[in-house]
Amino acid sequence: MKPQAMEKQRKAVALISGGLDSMLAVKVIQDQGIHVEGINFFTGFCVEGHTHAVRKKHKDKQKRNNALWVAEQLGIKLHIVDVVEEYKDILLNPVHGYGKNVNPCLDCKTFMVKKAVEWIKEHDFDFIITGEVVGQRPMSQRKETMPVVAKNSGSADLLVRPLSARQLPATLPEREGWLKREQMYDFSGRTRKPQMALAKQYGFDDYAQPAGGCCMLTDENYAVKLIDMWDNRPSREYELDDIIMLKMGRHFRLAPHLKIIIGREEGENNFMQGYKGLFVSIFPTSHPGALCLVDGEFKSAVELNQALALVARYSQGKNAPEVTLSVRQIDGTEKEYNIAPMAVDDINKEWII
């Protein structure tokens, strides 16, 4: 008797953000016997990477990468891909514009799915899944824009959204019988209740914030700092260190050519120490206090004195008549200055970014 041919094990790659929706999407597809691996794209703007690890303020938050944690919970491999360089063009020139802040969500999602298409071709996988839900996000997850992502990314009908599949046209994996449409969902809208109910059903009781909360570009305070950087440089081009520093410390724009960044706490000061070889730095020597990095240059003694007085203000000598500070050049040479800490009322509100 002729042996029956073994049916090919179908494989999907899931875009894993670390949030609940992608976690659920993977589980729904795993339950249909599909081998799933995760992929996570690092753009440089991930919230957890720039904050929780460094700041004591966030000590209640787990210092973990949520995408990795999700992958481990699901028992899947996770491929983290550095797309910092390629992502610059998405952020600087979004075809579909920005959302509320500087978030190019539609172009970003299209870009990530396009990268996933390249990945599945290279690794012989069959299709892509995401945790997107129709109507959940104002820009990239609307019923009108979700087909745009599929079309512009080149994923066509290889892109499956298991949480909203029954609201969307059938995809290739459904037509081929690899996936059963009735075993996927028809979630829509901004409510999180169906996802939370499904999470309960699966026994997931620890998960990260909803999708979208993991990108700094959706954060208003971050957007203001990024726009300030763009406005005060000859070009909007940026390096990874630039966008990391936007998340660190208090930022004061003293002049178009001069910004200072003062650490807010020990964790930031420790981290900022690593940048003393790239920036001129200021730190108090007579009192404990914060490290300051100088982005730009002092063109006058007035500007230098403003910076010194501000750094003194954020030291433990803020009530002393005078604080001694050291200004360290990038080459390591240092010079000391004495200055009276700036009074709160003298801090120009327009300096604060």
Partner 1 sequence: MSHQPDKSHQPADMSLEHDKDHQLDARRLLCPLPVIRTQDAIAKLQVGELLTVTSTDPGAKMDIPCWCRINGHEVVEIKEQDHEIIITIRVMAEK
Q: Which amino acid is at 227?
A: I
- The verdict on 154 binding partner 1 (CB under 8 A) reads no
- The verdict on 281 binding partner 1 (CB under 8 A) reads no
- The verdict on 213 binding partner 1 (CB under 8 A) reads no
- The verdict on 77 binding partner 1 (CB under 8 A) reads yes
Alpha carbons 84 and 237: distance in angstroms, whole number: 12
Q: Identify which range of 1-9, 76-84, 151-159, 296-304 contacts partner 1 by CB under 8 A.
A: 76-84
Alpha carbons 150 and 287: distance in angstroms, whole number: 58
Q: How far is the CB of 245 from partner 1 (least distance, A)?
A: 11
- The residues, any chain, with a CB within 8 Å of residue 204's CB and separated by 6 or more, are 20, 23, 24, 73
- The verdict on 119 binding partner 1 (CB under 8 A) reads no
Interface mask (CB under 8 A) for partner 1, residues 235-274, using x and -? Answer: ---------x----------------------x--xx--x
- The verdict on 224 binding partner 1 (CB under 8 A) reads no
Binding-site residue total for partner 1 (CB under 8 A)?
31
Our CB check for partner 1 shows the closer of 44 and 99 to be 44
Long-range contact pairs involving 217-223 (C-beta distance under 8 Å, separation at least 24): 217/45, 217/91, 217/101, 217/102, 217/103, 217/104, 218/99, 218/100, 218/101, 218/103, 218/105, 219/47, 219/101, 220/100, 220/101, 222/101, 222/246, 222/247, 223/101, 223/102, 223/103
**Which residue in the set 63, 121, 123, 200 belongs to the binding site for partner 1 (CB under 8 A)?**
63
Our CB check for partner 1 shows the closer of 48 and 107 to be 48
Q: How far is the CB of 259 from partner 1 (least distance, A)?
A: 20
First to last CA, the chain: 77
- The verdict on 78 binding partner 1 (CB under 8 A) reads yes
- The residues, any chain, with a CB within 8 Å of residue 351's CB and separated by 6 or more, are 252, 253, 254
The alpha carbons of the chain give a radius of gyration, in whole angstroms, of: 25
Question: How large is the angle between the packed helices 105-123 and 84-92, nearest 10 degrees?
Answer: 150
Residues 23-62 that bind partner 1 (CB under 8 A): 40, 42, 46, 48-50, 52-54, 62
Alpha carbons 156 and 318: distance in angstroms, whole number: 61
Alpha carbons 284 and 198: distance in angstroms, whole number: 54
Q: How far is the CB of 330 from partner 1 (least distance, A)?
A: 15
Q: Identify which range of 19-27, 78-86, 254-262, 298-306 contacts partner 1 by CB under 8 A.
A: 78-86
Q: How far is the CB of 37 from partner 1 (least distance, A)?
A: 10
Structure tokens at 262: 């003062």
CB atoms within 10 A of CB 32: 16
Q: How far is the CB of 63 from partner 1 (least distance, A)?
A: 4
Binding site for partner 1 (CB under 8 A): 40, 42, 46, 48-50, 52-54, 62-65, 67-69, 71-72, 76-82, 244, 267, 270-271, 274-275
